Structure 1
Amino acid sequence: MSTESSQLFRDLMASVCTPVSVVTTVDGDRPHGTTVSAFASLSIDPPMVLVALDRASALLALVREHRMLGLNILSSEQAPLAATFARKGDDKFDGVEWTLRAGVPHITGAAGWLAGEVSNLVAGGDHVVALVRVLELATGDGPPLTYHNRTFGTHSVLADRR
């Protein structure tokens, strides 16, 4: 793909509104996480989601090893957490409230959370898609954090236009 086509693709994908989540796992007793905007429901029976992780991600190596992950769907008030977990480093959980549930970190205040077992990892260009069977989940209150045109926002209901 040419540089111009590559930029057009990035611009097109930026125009798609996506939920913002932090994928988490643990290594020993140390939590790890990274921000993702590429996840989706995959199956109701059995309950499954898919999540795309950068091939170069340190988190991906841990997910490969432990085969468990948490998916914390951030609330609209957690944009600073999205930025924190998007950067590199081992100190992302410093000052973050979380609990260990089903063997993975659950970030306090998330709009939703699930723990799952990775059933398959599929190569997808510069990412790897994890197919995850949901083992435990929880819903939260408040609207989710979204990412659209390279900015954070949230969902709002349209007025009835009948």
Structure 2
Amino acid sequence: MVTKNFLELHQPARGITLSGYWELAPGRAISLQPREAGALRIAQGQVWATVDGPHQGHGNELGDHFLQSGQRLDVRTGQHLVFEPWPLVSETPVYFGWTPHPSAVAVSDSRWQLAVIHPLHDLGLALSMAGGALVRLVTGLAGYGEYLVAGRGRVLPKLEANQP
């Protein structure tokens, strides 16, 4: 999710920093495709952010968002996000943060996934474990069978025909 160019952007040019936030210099843009859902938070300045679809709603809800200090934009896993300072001729940097959503909150499984896919996955895991247990059982019985045939570990001496 983080590229070298992105890491270079947080270096303050004017000696002013906001602890815990990244700096985006005027005239620069950032492109992100997060591996986990999260929120873009604007601490100072304004940005023009564009996210890829699918989109719902009217007007600016179709992908373009204008965010000011204190606002946030939620981004889904794998969704492509591009943002830059707004207005484009601004001379002040933008400070922003990225906060991953907790996995418990970010879970948004569909009804199909909850009702069919998850139980099917569990069943596959259970069958795999049962198959492994069956193989170990057959191997153990085969090894134990040799023990039983040998007289439970005792080898009886041969009786000689000449003995009184």
Normalising by the residue count of structure 2, what TM-score does the alignment of the two structures yield? 0.23
Structure showing greater radius of gyration is 2
User: Structure 1 or 2: larger helix share?
Assistant: 2
User: Structure 1 or 2: larger strand share?
Assistant: 1
Normalising by the residue count of structure 1, what TM-score does the alignment of the two structures yield? 0.23
